[in-house]
Amino acid sequence: MKFSRACTQTFVAMVATSITLQSCLVQSFTPSNMASINKQMKIARTTLFASSIIPSDEQPSIGFENTCMLPRSEIHPIIKLKEGEPKEKFVNAHGLYCILVTIILNPIWAVAMWITDAVCKAFPDLDPNRAFYDNTGKVWSRLWLTVTDSYPTISGDVDRIRIPKNEEDSLGACLFVANHSSWLDIPILCTVLDPVFKFIAKGELKSIPCIGQQLVGGNHIMIDREDRRSQLRTFKEGVNYLKSGVPLMAFPEGKRSQDGRLDAFKGGIFSMAVKAGVPIVPISLSNTHAVMPSNALFPFQTGAGKLHVHVHEPIEVEGKSEAELAETVKEKLLSRMPLDQQPLPSEEDLVNEIMSQTEDTKKENEETGKDQLQRTT
């Protein structure tokens, strides 16, 4: 009961703050003070969520060595869709709460996008990269995660990637890549990536309310992996963004992992970084699959203490092939991912391991036999 009351109070306060902020933006959103507004927004976000950053050597407090996936018997679904089928979806009590939060927050987000879009169209040179438009989605993500008690802890090279490109020590344009196992991955990444960046997202997301509006209105890159022309267009748009100083965010697996384990990478993603000559920054996401697995329409449980983001140091691309970069990125991602998100060994790996063990045993037996023969003689 205390938790619900606290969440309600926090939610009301944040909604009021969001409405006030949008009102202020309408009155003061002019070219002359755009830089000042962006600076104040950054200070507010950094101050509000600074407590989520933890030392780089720490892991999620729950679910790193032992899984925090809920067994089916503990989900207690209230709504069941296509039960027993491959694409079954469930909603439990926590999911209903998340639906309520979404119903209240999404209209505010939609209005915020409508206002900022109107301003951007009225002043085309004001925000050419739609950075302020994208900020509406980042604010929504942080509010939603906070109110649903799912704000992640963060570690790693966070401060550096949050430095705007026109300031000293900025990382500049780069390719962010992360493992992908849940719908929560997108809002969680928005808690870390403060400067302007563009997602490489699948085209089907255009039809999802608010999310599609954010991706299309923010000029993010939409790809159809079944269409060769779309892939070529994505590559060209991505390289152009990187060369102009705008970072990209991509999921090298190409789709969500169904069991949370890291899947094989699709080709082409790392070649954009090589073509543009920019570094690659891996980001490990922990336990999003446990909080909102593939059969959840909304999260089954809170993410407090479970959800974690680790930002790795940049990987330079010069002199490296795409295959080498893919292997390095994979090693980095896995080094900070929970045990139940590590890939299972393939049949070939298992056969090789058995053969290796058999060979080792054979050598040991031969050595033992030689020792016994020498002692008897």
Alpha-carbon 70 to chain mean position: 21
The average confidence (pLDDT) of the chain is 83
The pLDDT tens digits for 78-88 are: 999 998 898 89
User: Residue 368: pLDDT above 80?
Assistant: no
Structure tokens at 368: 């033992």
178 three-state secondary structure:
strand
pLDDT classification of 171: cutoffs 50, 70, 90: confident
The pLDDT tens digits for 196-213 are: 899 999 888 888 999 999
Question: Is the model's pTM score more than 0.85?
Answer: no
* CA-closest candidate to residue 298, choices 106, 139, 109: 106
* CA-closest candidate to residue 80, choices 295, 284, 331, 340: 295
User: Residue 181: pLDDT above 70?
Assistant: yes
**Would you list the domain boundaries of the chain?**
2-351
The pLDDT tens digits for 234-280 are: 999 999 999 999 999 999 998 999 999 999 998 789 999 999 999 99
Terminal Cα distance for the chain, rounded = 82
Cβ partners under 8 Å of residue 262, min gap 6: 179, 253, 330, 333, 334, 337, 341, 342, 343
Alpha-carbon 216 to chain mean position: 19
- The share of the chain scoring above pLDDT 70, in percent, equals 78
User: Residue 44: pLDDT above 70?
Assistant: no
Most confident of 24-38, 47-61, 109-123: 109-123
